[in-house]
Amino acid sequence: MSKKTKGINPDLEKAISQMLKDVMADPTTSITDRMKVIDRSIKLEALKAKISDDEWGSGFMDGDEDSE
């Protein structure tokens, strides 16, 4: 059994990037389809930011704000 590497699959990044380019270049694409691809791209960027930030979510449920 192979060990899974941490991070985003580079093939997935390339596929979403290519899909975004293709959809935005095609004038016949509906606004709904364009927004779906844009949403996927934004979610990918959010995941990349989350992975690169080691402290992301570390303060969750600390209770510091609730002690007042």
Angle at 21 between CA 20 and CA 26, to 5 degrees: 100
Task: With a cut of 60, say whether residue 65 has pLDDT above it.
Answer: no
Look at the block and give the residue holding tokens 């934004």.
42
Give residue 9's pLDDT. Answer: 83
What's the pLDDT tens digit per position in 15-43? 999 999 999 999 999 999 999 999 999 99
pLDDT digit string, tens, across residues 42-60: 998 888 888 777 666 666 6
Give pTM, 2 decimals.
0.64
Alpha-carbon gap, residue 3 to 13, rounded angstroms:
20
Handedness of CA 22, 19, 33, 50 (dihedral sign): negative
